[in-house]
Amino acid sequence: MNTTADAATAQDQLTRLADLLAATRRDPLQLGRLCDHARQAAAMQAALPPRYATVLLDVVDRLESSALFSEESCSFSQKDLLDSLQLWVDKARGVLPGGQQAR
């Protein structure tokens, strides 16, 4: 990140991801919007260490696959994947410039 504006954009994208995650927990039909935003949040991904983008996109891939199943499966539990994404968001907040430190 080179500028304050880039850091603010990254923070905004992370906040939006957290908001969409909460919306998806309430309404699973929001999953597509959540996954699209996660993939398109370039400023957020660039501001974080490279391993964060790798993990984020892996979780998003599995979330998209979970949408193919009408019931929970041992490989694609949507609840567990959403929990994993929440953990990712919490950790990203701790390392994103200008973010809150992880507890």
Kindly state whether residue 45 falls inside one of the protein's structural domains.
yes
Domain count, the chain: 1
Q: Which of 92, 85, 103, 91 is nearest to 21 (CA)?
A: 85
Kindly state whether residue 101 falls inside one of the protein's structural domains.
no
Output the tens digit of pLDDT for each of the chain's 103 residues. Answer: 457 778 899 999 999 999 999 999 999 999 999 999 999 999 999 999 999 999 999 999 999 988 887 665 556 689 999 999 999 999 999 999 776 644 3
Q: Which amino acid is at 7?
A: A
Kindly state whether residue 31 falls inside one of the protein's structural domains.
yes
Kindly state whether residue 27 falls inside one of the protein's structural domains.
yes
- Give the global pTM: 0.86
- 50-66 and 31-40 helices, crossing angle to 10°: 160
